[in-house]
Amino acid sequence: MRRSVGLAIGAAAVTGAIAWPAATPAGDGPIAALLVPESAQRAELPPRADGSRALRAARGIAALGPRPAGSAAERRAHARVARAFRRAGLRVAVQPFTVPGHGRSRNVIGTLDAPRRDCLKIAMAHADTTAPGPGANDNASGVGVVMAIAARLRRIAPRCDVWLVATGAEERIFTGQGDHLGALALARRARAREAKRRLRFALSLDEVGRDRPFWLRSPAAAPRPHVERALLRAGRATGVAVSWVRDEGDSMSDHREFELLGLPAAKLGVGAGGEPCRHTACDTADRLDRHSLALAQRLAERALW
């Protein structure tokens, strides 16, 4: 995305107002990551994230309360993300779309162009929730990690173009739609920008704020070399315990829509412990764990490198 398409967030975002015109293992079970020798790596990443920035960002998003698709609270969450992306020096664009029966939502996209023009990586997290919960783990946690990555992305110096995205209208239980609407709009946007050729993976960060070890989910029949295996290697290289688990039935996060369009994607999130407070009022910010957020950020940064 070398030319911003869509509506940019204007100066009104500074005040918080924007002027807009989620099983069990399949087959032989989880597959562990393999270590990438340091000799095979290029220049070092910045010092490992400690989770503090991600935690502050996630708490700030959760403090907005329930953020159903099309709501003012969802819009305020997206405004926070846009400000963070802009402060980080990313090119920011807004992709608006309709949520039937609930007005308008949007994806906020922060782009960093890399020296290589032949590859693209996407890290995304949904900003919306279901009522009555404030959605701290589901999914202020993922949004907080994306915001924290943005602040370090230029120092990371990725080889491929990177899109960091806060999606809208992921919660199908609220929208009543068959698709995660923000992810569908984003996947179509990526496809229009040669993602069939360029996209290495789209990674959904969803419920990464308290349970570990993580599960990496996808609908693939087996881990693919440049998708699941690459993400698992990133986990091992950064000391993050993660196992691949095949999606059962309908994939329950934003990676679903990419895969339906034939684009490689996966979800990093809650492991075998599950999220007992999902979609309920007990999903509060005091439950977030800084170390868990740090681990998710470290894995994602290595994968984007």
Distance CA(81)–CA(123), nearest Å, equals 13
Please state the pTM of the whole predicted model.
0.86
pLDDT, one tens digit for every residue, the chain (305 residues): 333 333 333 333 333 333 333 333 333 334 333 333 333 345 678 999 999 999 999 999 999 999 999 999 999 999 999 999 999 999 999 999 999 999 999 999 999 999 888 999 999 999 999 989 899 999 999 999 999 999 999 999 999 999 999 999 999 999 999 999 999 999 999 999 999 999 999 999 999 999 889 999 999 999 999 999 999 999 999 999 999 999 988 889 999 999 999 999 999 999 998 999 999 999 999 999 999 999 999 999 999 99
Are 127 and 205 in contact by the 8 Å Cβ rule? The answer is no
- By three-state DSSP, how is residue 93 classified? strand
Place of tokens 């992306």: 85
**Residues 47-99: tens digit of each pLDDT:** 999 999 999 999 999 999 999 999 999 999 999 999 999 999 999 999 999 99
Residue among 177, 170, 176, 198 nearest 255 (CA): 170
- pLDDT score of 43: 62
Cis-peptide, bond into residue 107, ω within 30° of zero: no
Query: What is the C-alpha radius of gyration for the chain, rounded to an integer number of angstroms?
Result: 17
Q: How would you classify the pairing of strands 242-246 and 31-32? A: antiparallel
The token duo for 190 is 């990526």
Distance CA(49)–CA(84), nearest Å, equals 17
Domain 48-304 has CATH 3.40.1170.60: no
What are the residue boundaries of the structural domains of the chain, listed by start? Answer: 48-304
Question: In degrees, to the nearest 5, what angle opens at C-alpha 84 toward C-alphas 81 and 89?
Answer: 130
Residue among 226, 202, 173 nearest 109 (CA): 202
Distance CA(47)–CA(50), nearest Å, equals 9
The residues near 117 (Cβ < 8 Å, ≥ 6 apart) are 161
The token duo for 171 is 């919660």
Number of H helices, E strands in the chain: 9, 9
- pLDDT score of 248: 86
